[in-house]
């Protein structure tokens, strides 16, 4: 695994909101238990616990995550299901929807909450039967497990998509390398627009990375987490809300990090 991938994943484990808030609760508890009752450490502990609980409740029992997702999911909403702006050179789909461990165990293509990436790719492949497809991403968690690439191949085989149309990149491990590895698979004469398929929340950062790699793309967002409509203040689905809160914070941090490191063409890429 590349050093930048290890570093980014390690940092994210620490600052992922759900993990960070849980750690703050533990730290607060330890300070309150072992610090003198009237000491500044005890007062500090109470503040940490109170603030962490407030943030957890607000993130878990309101539509905060949906409100934060709206700007990024709606960034390219106008391209949803749009295939009339050709000519197109092909279809690019980013990995990230595959459950490698479970797929290995049951010998089936098992997908996660982002399964629409592959499902919509198969649908587009049938709708636009002459277009080639590039699948990018080859993560493998364990040596004896199927890789994301392997699961995608299993899915496309079961979906009866002609393998002669598909180029598989098994070297990419993040959005930046998705773009740079894809660039190597595109022939010089394939200079029309490529339909770029990934989750709607992930589309702005993906567009920035692919534009930076000088690939002519048209966004094709899928896997929406929100309706892009106001749904009230409160939501009692704590686990889903907290999961989406982690997801959207990760994406905003990713947008900033990619822009600072020169991996994205803009801080918040939009329609050109």
At 42-60, the pLDDT tens digits run 899 999 999 999 999 999 9
Query: Does the residue 156 lie in any domain?
Result: yes
| Total residue length of the chain | 272
**Residues 47 and 159 placed together within one structural domain of the fold:** no
**Residues 165 and 193 placed together within one structural domain of the fold:** yes
Question: Of 61, 90, 111, which residue sits at a domain end?
Answer: 61
**Residues 43 and 86 placed together within one structural domain of the fold:** no
Query: Does the residue 228 lie in any domain?
Result: no
**Residues 98 and 192 placed together within one structural domain of the fold:** yes
**Rounded to whole angstroms, how far apart are CA atoms 188 and 69?**
36
**Rounded to whole angstroms, how far apart are CA atoms 131 and 88?**
8
- One digit per residue, pLDDT tens: the chain, 272 residues? 677 888 888 999 999 999 999 999 999 999 888 888 888 888 999 999 999 999 999 999 999 999 999 999 999 999 999 999 999 999 999 999 999 999 999 999 999 999 999 999 999 999 999 999 999 998 787 888 999 999 999 999 999 999 999 999 999 999 999 999 999 999 999 999 999 999 999 999 999 999 999 999 999 999 999 999 988 999 999 999 999 999 999 999 999 999 999 999 999 999 98
- Determine the pLDDT at residue 1: 60
Distances (CA, A) of 12 to 17, 35, 102, 247: 9, 30, 24, 11
Query: Does the residue 233 lie in any domain?
Result: no
Instruction: Provide the β-strand partners of residue 166.
Output: 133
Contact indicator for 140, 100 with CB cutoff of 8 Å = yes
Question: Of 207, 223, 239, which residue sits at a domain end?
Answer: 223
Query: What DSSP string runs through the chain?
Result: --HHHHHHHHHHHHH-HHHHHHHHHHHHHHHHHHS-TTSHHHHHHHHHHHHHHHHHHHHHHBSHHHHHHHHHHTTTGGGTT---S--EEEEEEE---B-HHHHHHHTS--B-TTTHHHHHHHHHHHHSTT--EEEE----SSTTSPPHHHHHHHHHHHTT--GGGEEEE----SHHHHHHHHHHHS-TT--SEEEEEEEGGGHHHHHHHHHHTT--EEEEEE--SS-SS---SB---HHHHHHHHHHHHHHHHHHHHHHHTT-SSSSS----
Unique residue bearing structure tokens 């899928």: 222
Six token digits for residue 86: 């050709």
**Residues 157 and 92 placed together within one structural domain of the fold:** yes
- Determine the pLDDT at residue 168: 97
**Residues 52 and 121 placed together within one structural domain of the fold:** no
Query: Does the residue 249 lie in any domain?
Result: no
- Determine the pLDDT at residue 70: 96
Query: Does the residue 230 lie in any domain?
Result: no
Contacts of 260 (CB under 8 A, 6+ apart): none
**Residues 136 and 100 placed together within one structural domain of the fold:** yes
How many domains does the chain contain in total?
2
Contact indicator for 208, 264 with CB cutoff of 8 Å = yes
Query: Does the residue 253 lie in any domain?
Result: no
**Rounded to whole angstroms, how far apart are CA atoms 31 and 43?**
9
**Rounded to whole angstroms, how far apart are CA atoms 131 and 124?**
9
The CATH number of the domain holding residue 219 is 3.40.50.620
**Rounded to whole angstroms, how far apart are CA atoms 135 and 147?**
13
**Residues 161 and 101 placed together within one structural domain of the fold:** yes
**Residues 55 and 82 placed together within one structural domain of the fold:** no
Closest to 95 in 3D by CA, of 178, 208, 207, 217: 178
**Residues 56 and 90 placed together within one structural domain of the fold:** no
- Determine the pLDDT at residue 33: 87
Query: Does the residue 248 lie in any domain?
Result: no
**Residues 130 and 219 placed together within one structural domain of the fold:** yes
- Determine the pLDDT at residue 139: 77
**Residues 95 and 36 placed together within one structural domain of the fold:** no
- Determine the pLDDT at residue 201: 98
Domain of residue 42: give its range: 3-61
Query: Does the residue 91 lie in any domain?
Result: yes
């Amino acid at each position: 695994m590349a050093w930048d991938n290890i570093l980014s994943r390690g940092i994210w484990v620490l600052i992922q909101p759900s993990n960070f808030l849980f750690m703050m609760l533990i730290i607060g508890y330890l300070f309150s238990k072992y610090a003198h009752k009237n000491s500044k450490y005890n007062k500090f502990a109470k503040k940490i616990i109170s603030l962490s609980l407030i943030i957890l409740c607000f993130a878990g029992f309101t539509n905060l995550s949906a409100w934060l997702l709206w700007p990024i999911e709606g960034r390219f909403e106008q391209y949803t299901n749009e295939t009339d702006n050709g000519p197109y050179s092909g279809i690019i789909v980013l990995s990230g929807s595959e459950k490698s461990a479970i797929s290995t165990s049951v010998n089936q293509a098992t997908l996660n909450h982002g399964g629409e990436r592959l499902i919509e790719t198969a649908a587009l492949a049938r709708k636009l039967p002459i277009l080639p497809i590039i699948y990018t991403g080859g993560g493998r968690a364990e040596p004896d497990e199927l890789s994301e690439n392997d699961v995608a191949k299993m899915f496309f085989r079961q979906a009866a998509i002609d393998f002669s149309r598909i180029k598989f990149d098994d070297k990419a491990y993040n959005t930046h390398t998705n773009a740079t590895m894809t660039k190597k698979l595109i022939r010089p004469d394939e200079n029309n627009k490529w339909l770029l398929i990934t989750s709607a929340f992930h589309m702005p950062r993906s567009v920035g990375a692919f534009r930076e790699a000088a690939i002519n793309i048209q966004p094709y967002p899928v896997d929406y987490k929100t309706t892009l409509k106001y749904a009230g203040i409160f939501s009692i689905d704590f686990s889903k809300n907290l999961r989406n809160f982690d997801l959207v914070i990760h994406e905003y941090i990713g947008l900033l990090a990619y822009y600072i490191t020169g991996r994205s063409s803009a801080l918040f890429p939009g329609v050109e």
